[in-house]
């Protein structure tokens, strides 16, 4: 289960590394096709898990070498109902993909974590719509209802925390 949920080490004076743009790296540097700019489907099949493992291993090794922590951000930025539906995922399969992503991060942590390099698993949440244009807005209550299933899924895993990225209007971020 979770390791740091009740005592996040990055809140101390220890430095932490994060990865450097998963989807951008996979698409533009590694030439991997990512429909809807979504990396979460990779966690659902062996070849994809290996690609993700290779990506995160680079950063885990850097953290070890520099004796700093590492935030293992799950590849789930697009793993929400609207984006998942565009990729053929139903709610059950989406929840499983979120769990698979955390499981992969836990395996990487188990392999690379040292006392000098704590590794925190963070469940990544992304916007319902385009991360750079607020075309269709939700109320706070709608955003809470929309993002809660993903957060609830993370709560039942080894994820230590949840982080949201590119939520471009206040109501979605509050929800």
Q: What is the pLDDT of residue 2?
A: 85
**What is the per-residue DSSP string for 79-141?**
-SHHHHHHTT--HHHHHHHHHHHHHHHHHHHHHH-BTTB-EEEEEEE--SS-TT---S---HH
C-alpha 41/C-alpha 23 separation (Å) is 12
Q: What residue segments make up the domains of the chain, in order of their start? A: 14-174
Asked if pLDDT for residue 133 goes beyond 90, the answer is no
Mean residue pLDDT of the chain comes to 95
Residue 1 has pLDDT above 90, yes or no: no
- Is the model's pTM score more than 0.85? yes
Average confidence (pLDDT) over 136-144: 93
Q: Tell me, what DSSP letter sits at residue 61?
A: H
pLDDT at 67: 98
The share of the chain scoring above pLDDT 70, in percent, equals 100
**DSSP three-state, residue 67:** coil
In this prediction, residue 93 carries a pLDDT of 98
Q: Is 24 left (phi over 0), alpha (psi -120 to 50) or beta?
A: alpha
Q: Cβ(18)–Cβ(171) under 8 Å?
A: no
Q: Is the pLDDT of residue 164 over 80?
A: yes
Mean pLDDT of 160-167: 95
Q: What sign for the dihedral angle of Cα 170, 129, 138, 20?
A: negative
Question: 20-53: per-residue pLDDT in tens?
Answer: 999 999 999 999 999 999 999 999 999 999 999 9
Span 14-174: which CATH code?
3.20.20.330
132 pLDDT more than 80: no
Question: What is the mean predicted confidence (pLDDT) over 48-66?
Answer: 98
């Amino acid at each position: 289960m979770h390791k740091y949920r009740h005592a996040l080490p990055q809140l101390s004076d220890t430095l932490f590394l994060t990865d450097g743009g998963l989807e951008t790296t996979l698409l533009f540097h590694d030439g991997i096709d990512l429909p809807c700019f979504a990396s979460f489907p990779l966690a659902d099949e062996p070849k994809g898990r290996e690609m993700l493992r290779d990506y995160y291993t680079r950063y885990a090794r850097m953290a070890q070498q520099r004796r700093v922590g590492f935030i293992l951000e799950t590849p789930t930025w697009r793993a929400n109902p609207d984006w998942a539906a565009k990729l053929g995922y139903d709610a059950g399969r989406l929840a499983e993909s979120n769990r698979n992503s955390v499981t992969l991060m836990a395996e990487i942590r188990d392999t690379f974590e040292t006392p000098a390099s704590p590794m925190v698993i963070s469940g990544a949440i992304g916007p319902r719509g385009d991360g750079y244009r607020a075309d269709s807005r939700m109320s706070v209550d709608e955003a809470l209802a929309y993002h809660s299933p993903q957060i609830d899924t993370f709560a039942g895993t080894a994820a230590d925390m949840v982080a949201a990225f590119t939520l471009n209007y206040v109501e979605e971020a509050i929800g």
